[in-house]
Amino acid sequence: MLSTLIADFRIIFERDPAARNWLEVLFCYPGLQALLLHRFAHWLYVLGLPFFPRLISHTARFLTGIEIHPGAQMGKGVFIDHGMGVVIGETAIIGNYALIYQGVTLGGTGKESGKRHPTLGENVVVGAGAKVLGNLLIGNNVRIGAGSVVLRDVPSDCTVVGVPGRIVHRSGERVDPLEHGRLPDSEAQVIRALVDRIENLEQQLQTLQQTPVETQVPVATFAGTTHINPEFSSAWDAVSLKTSCRTRDRVIDEFLDGSGI
């Protein structure tokens, strides 16, 4: 227990450049205060003591604006930065050295009993206002972007952004947990891919319009199937060799499929 409390205290100096001295951290950091009260409440909760664990949790919520159910399991070195509006449910499990910003919800999605809140691995970063809902498994070293809504499991070493949350793999690149400005914009990437596709199709259409009528490719449709005269296959290839309208770009596939989510 003592080593856990020391880790909770030290991690603040590592991850918050505004932390200057131990007195300031001890008395002016609501995330640390809420965590200390929770650990005491959780100890009473494990002993089966009624009422008092919830009373301590409610008092901590009143004092810090952070609501942690006494049944939640918190690893060592967890840092709740600022923390106003953070809600952590009863069956949530948070791994070591997680970083949680204000407005985060680790909640459930219904009234089912048993495990109904998420499990976070080690070194997970949950950005401001993000929501992780349900009995989900979030792997190690996962970064959840601010305002994201995660509704499915996330494998380790990924970044999740958007509503609903979509995975963006960052293989081979180590990102500092505080660099929230480097989160990728998957929606912008898909829009860019679609714009490129439209421009490509417009160029193909312009090429067809400029082609003499006698050299254009005759197309016939039988029973809903399009057939191209083999004699003009080379002309057709010259017009549409670059892309196929039925083949989607990889970035569009990943966005529509959620890259595994």
Q: What is the pLDDT of residue 243?
A: 47
Q: Distance (Å, rounded) from C-alpha 170 to C-alpha 233?
A: 41
215: which DSSP letter? G
Spell out the per-residue pLDDT of the chain, length 261, in tens.
Answer: 788 888 889 999 988 888 888 898 999 999 999 999 999 999 999 999 999 999 999 999 999 999 999 999 999 999 999 889 999 999 999 999 999 999 999 998 877 788 999 999 999 999 999 999 999 999 999 999 888 999 999 998 888 888 888 887 655 455 555 555 566 666 667 777 788 888 888 888 888 888 776 655 555 554 555 555 555 455 445 445 444 444 456 666 666 666 555
- Collapsed DSSP state (helix, strand, coil) of residue 154: strand
Place of tokens 């227990």: 1
Q: Are strands 166-169 and 158-161 parallel, antiparallel or unpaired?
A: antiparallel
Q: Distance (Å, rounded) from C-alpha 168 to C-alpha 187?
A: 11
| Helix, strand, coil percentages in the chain from 3-state DSSP, rounded to 5 | 40, 15, 45
Q: How is 37-95 classified by DSSP, letter by letter?
A: HHHHHHHHHHTT--SHHHHHHHHHHHHHS-EE-TT-EE-TT-EE-S-TT-EE-TT-EE-
Q: What is the pLDDT of residue 216?
A: 57
Place of tokens 């349900």: 134
Answer whether the bond into residue 164 is a cis peptide, omega within 30°: yes
Alpha-carbon Rg for the chain, nearest whole angstrom, is 26
Q: Distance (Å, rounded) from C-alpha 147 to C-alpha 221?
A: 49
Q: What is the pLDDT of residue 250?
A: 67
Q: What is the pLDDT of residue 224?
A: 53
CA contacts within 13 A on the Cβ side of 183: 24
CB atoms within 10 A of CB 49: 12
Give Cα 77 distance to the centre of its chain. 21
Q: What is the pLDDT of residue 192?
A: 75
Burial zone of 114 (CB within 10 Å; 0-12 exposed, 13-18 middle, 19+ buried): exposed
Instruction: Catalogue all structural domains in the chain, each as residue range(s) with its CATH number.
Output: 2-182 (2.160.10.10), 186-260 (no CATH)
Q: Distance (Å, rounded) from C-alpha 185 to C-alpha 125?
A: 17
Q: Distance (Å, rounded) from C-alpha 107 to C-alpha 118?
A: 7
CB atoms within 10 A of CB 163: 13
Give Cα 76 distance to the centre of its chain. 22
Q: What is the pLDDT of residue 194?
A: 80
pTM comes to 0.73
- State whether the Cα torsion 191-197-200-206 is positive or negative: negative
